[in-house]
Amino acid sequence: MRTLLEHAAQALRRKARRELAEALRPLDDHYLARSVNNPFARQDLPWWLRRIEL
């Protein structure tokens, strides 16, 4: 779902993209808190695909 949201954000105007990023920030923070970095993930992937859920 995060990838879909990122693609949608790229289609938005700058202000709307910023507002979406602000709305997603608490959710991203929550995901970061309950996941760890995957050292085996490719570094060219977005940050949310380089995480392992706990």
pLDDT tens-digit map of 10-46: 999 999 999 999 999 999 999 999 999 999 999 999 9
Q: What is the Cα–Cα distance from 53 to 16, expressed in whole angstroms? A: 29
pLDDT computed for residue 46 by the predictor: 97
Q: How far apart are CA 54 and CA 37, in angstroms?
A: 11
Task: Provide the whole-model pTM.
Answer: 0.84
- What is the spatial distance between Cα 12 and Cα 47, in angstroms, rounded to a whole number? 21
Rounded to whole angstroms, the Cα distance separating 51 from 22 reads 21
d(CA 45, CA 26): 21
pLDDT at 16: 97
The per-residue pLDDT for 45 is 97
Q: Where are the domains of the chain?
A: 2-53
